[in-house]
Chains A and B, each alone.
Chain A
Amino acid sequence: MNEMSRRRFLSRLTVALTAFISAIVGLPILGYLLAPLFHAPSDELVPVGAIGDFPVGETKLVSIRDPSPLAWAGQTADTALWVRRRDVSGPQMFQIFNVNCTHLGCPVNWQASAKLFLCPCHGGVYYSDGTVAGGPPPRPLFEREWEVSGDRLLVRQQPLPTVKQG
């Protein structure tokens, strides 16, 4: 075995060992950091309140709490939703909107007298049914699935608006 090929072998061995070290250190940490990608978001139904709390024709702000938050999540375990009661009963009874503007996610605010949702960031405007009335939003407010169970209104947990939705 001549000197040159021995050196070439040793350099390749060193590079290979370094790559091996990087891999056994890197793979666990990469998996740890990318973990959020592999967790399916919760789609549990969580209670919003009693149906009687929502008069027909009105739109009210409610907050729901993540059923299993991290212990240190504090207020971030809460999510606000706009609940619109359209009907006394039936499939058209409620519309439940995410508060996030479909433009960039700022919280929209319901103006009861003007019957409009207004966004404070870039001026998006929506009608009471969530359709766009003006400004930059590309689509209506995101709606959530809901169910009535007895006299309780339940709503489905959901990821951030544009995440995993069209």
Chain B
Amino acid sequence: MRLLRGIASWLGERFELEDSVMAVLRHPVPRELERPIGWWYVLGSATLAIFVMQVVTGVGLAMTYVPAPNSAYDSLQFISHDATLGGVVRGMHYFGAGAMVVLVLAHMTQVYLFGAFKFPREANWLTGSLLLLATLAMAFTGQLLRWDQDAFWSVVVAAEQAARAPVIGNWLATLVVAGSNVGGATLTRFYATHVFLIPAAIFGLIGMHLYLVVKRGISEPPVPGLPVDRPTYRARYAEMLRRGIPFWPDAAWRDATIAAAAVVVVVVLAAIFGAPQLGKPPDPTNVVADPRPDWYFLGYFAILALIPPATESIVIIGLPLFAFVFLFLVPILWPDGERHWSRRPAAIAAVALPFIAYASLTVAGIESPWVPKLEGGALPASVTQGLGASERRGADLFVSKACFACHAIEGAGGRRGPDLSHVASRMTRDQITARIATGGGGMPAFAGGLTPSELDDLTTFLLTRK
């Protein structure tokens, strides 16, 4: 023990750790962080801990993953099922990605509600916003490296979205897929972007972010009625720090506690559930696909189905652009004034509304009621029993002509169009016939796909649905 302490003190002296690392770790923080409110100040450290875990597990995966279109899928199957602890490591990387998105957003929400982005910490917020962007870019490129059917079509969708950008759209799309089609050159680019380019940016940004956190000092817990006044704030804060406590170890233990909890949650999830199942292989000629992004992007996926088509290009390009420009403008537009959330009702709304909206969109994305049900199925027996011959033929046509894909009867069928369980109580024979033949309101016209007698049978069947 004494030997160890001797070595530690020799290293500390020779490497001047007391002046560098320890001096930084012991930087003073406001005394209030000793109180339970200090538990709110730990989310950044937890994010950093998960990020380090992502780097470590990512390096591990890169030792085995083959970033070539003809091998990536097989190498992932090998990692997930055959490599020793491969499933756990891939699981950690996967659940870690979700944890990154959740923690970055939680950290940002806390900083926003505490008004900690205000003077003189505007640049902390700006570097943090760039880190959020980088995190989302990592999440997206990471999903593509999975290189299964979902990933393949996600690249196509990404290129199509990029192509919507004005003027430079086509160039962007060409660069996204590294050519004119998704092919041999595409995956290696996403790989290099995911493992070199974005992480390099993240390392740099984390450096700036932490430098600013230490240099500007951790913001004191907000007090209602005590606004940030730019001319006097620095002096007041310096005075506060004179009575402060050292970050190490007085505040750091809480950071370590929550960071440990976050890592444990991810590791336990990975140990229980393992790596996420890969979808079908990325075969462009298999068109029986149902591409979906990972859960944190489902809300955005849902928006694209729910908005009016005419507004689409504006939403695809404009909405993310607006969100990020707004994010960057936050500390510039509101650098001073009240910090406490109880005095900033608009700030609470600015947090609550997007969260509620995105949560609802995510639910919509999971259910995807706008997607026709193609798997087939059958009408319930209660609907088909006791039907006459023409009605019977109509019921069969209802399923075989894919009416069933969009319309439900007694709980069976798609939800894209109106439920037809009681259609006869609101429409006449002529109205039903006309609607089937000519479509409208989002429904295709079936006049070309049905013979007159088939149309008659179908209508006769629907008239039984009173």
Contact = CB atoms under 8 A, between A and B. Distances in A.
B402 A135 contact: no
A122 B304 contact: yes
B153 A105 contact: yes
B309 A136 contact: yes
A123 B171 contact: no
Contacts of A127: 444-445, 448
A163 B183 contact: no
Contacts of A163: 159, 163, 170, 173-174, 180
A106 to B, nearest CB: 6
Of the four ranges (under 10, 10 to 19, 20 to 34, 35 or more), the interface on chain A belongs to 35 or more
Given A36-B178, A163-B163, A106 B173 contact: no
Interface in B255-295: 281-291
A79 B284 contact: yes
A133 B180 contact: no
Contacts of A72: 68-71, 184
Contacts of B449: 114-116
Interface stretch (A19-27, A63-71, A84-92): A63-71
Contacts, number: 193
B156 to A, nearest CB: 4
Contacts of B68: 72, 74
B184 A105 contact: no
Given A106-B157, A114-B401, A114-B402, A61 B182 contact: no
B179 interface: yes
Interface string B43-79: 0000000000000000000000000111100000000
B153 A74 contact: no
B85 interface: no
Given A34-B175, A75-B282, A120-B371, A69 B184 contact: yes
B33 interface: no
Given A73-B184, A79-B284, A115 B448 contact: yes
B68 to A, nearest CB: 4
16 contacts: A39-B179, A41-B179, A66-B183, A69-B183, A72-B184, A78-B285, A80-B286, A105-B159, A106-B157, A109-B288, A114-B400, A116-B449, A118-B372, A118-B405, A121-B157, A127-B445
